Structure 1
């Protein structure tokens, strides 16, 4: 099965330049990885609107922190047995605090079953998705 469902993600940076990543576990493949907050667009939603909504839903952080500036990132990955091939828009959100608290707000049951936490990083961890995230961050900043 494959999907090209449009999606948007948010690169969150704190005052010290640390990036917020969410830890996910794919129960189908058994893989665990880190990824910026984000997800699929709802019907009639723009990528920017989706990025702001997803940030608030997945982290509790304010969606209005997401800037209207993005980098288009080609993606090719598996998630829960579905093959996704698409281009996602990665937006930037900057926070004046050091490591603002990030905790899921209104997430789906599927997300709760897969969500394994959030952390702020000054060096990207192994298993980060997309693998070229460091370059995306450079382009956004």
Structure 2
């Protein structure tokens, strides 16, 4: 029915678990979503702000984007962190895999924790359709804002909750966890 550089939309007939035929619209993504939880040594996180067209609003969120299906998702995450924040990470950990809106799409997300942050060699360079702002916030403030609905992006909410869980469960260095939980 429709195809762009990011998605294709099909209308097809599917066999329901009951054995009945049913019409089914499906959105297929040409990228895997990647989200980065960049945690600084002091327990703060870097958030990026940008206008999001679908809801017509401004959104503060973690660095995120898409990695083409043929690309290593970690390379896509590294690129998104550098493009959106001007940061590089010494340590990367895959910490989450999710399905997004799995009733009508095949979109997946892979989330990465980025530690040992430092500025990249050059200034950050968002793509030519993005006007990105950046802020560094204490982890708990970002988490509390997400839980209050002020950071509604689901990748951001999920990754902040994952970071909180890791800090609480001893999956992060003790000093870093203490700084995050403050």
Shared fold per TM-score greater than 0.5: yes
1:1-141 map, 5 Å:
2-4=27-29, 5-42=31-68, 44-62=70-88, 64-76=89-101, 86-95=107-116, 105-112=124-131, 115=132, 117-122=133-138, 123-124=141-142, 125=145, 126-130=150-154, 131-140=157-166, 141=172
| Cα distance between partner residues in 2 of 1:96 and 1:57 | 14
Displacement of 1:88 after TM fit? 0.9
1:61-120 CA deviation, whole Å, 9 max, x = no partner?
A: 11x4351322113434xxxxxx976221110112367xx79x9623222123xx2x1111
Aligned length: 128
| Alignment TM-score, normalising by the size of structure 2 | 0.58
Structure 2 unaligned runs (5+)?
Answer: 1-8, 10-26, 167-171, 173-182
Unaligned runs of 5+ in 1: 77-82
| Contact 1:10/1:66 (8 A) holds in 2 | no
- Is the partner of 2:68 in helix, strand or coil? coil
Shift of 1:138: 2.4
TM-score in terms of structure 1 length? 0.72
Higher Cα radius of gyration? 2
8 Å Cα contact 1:19/1:120 also seen in 2: yes
RMSD: 2.9
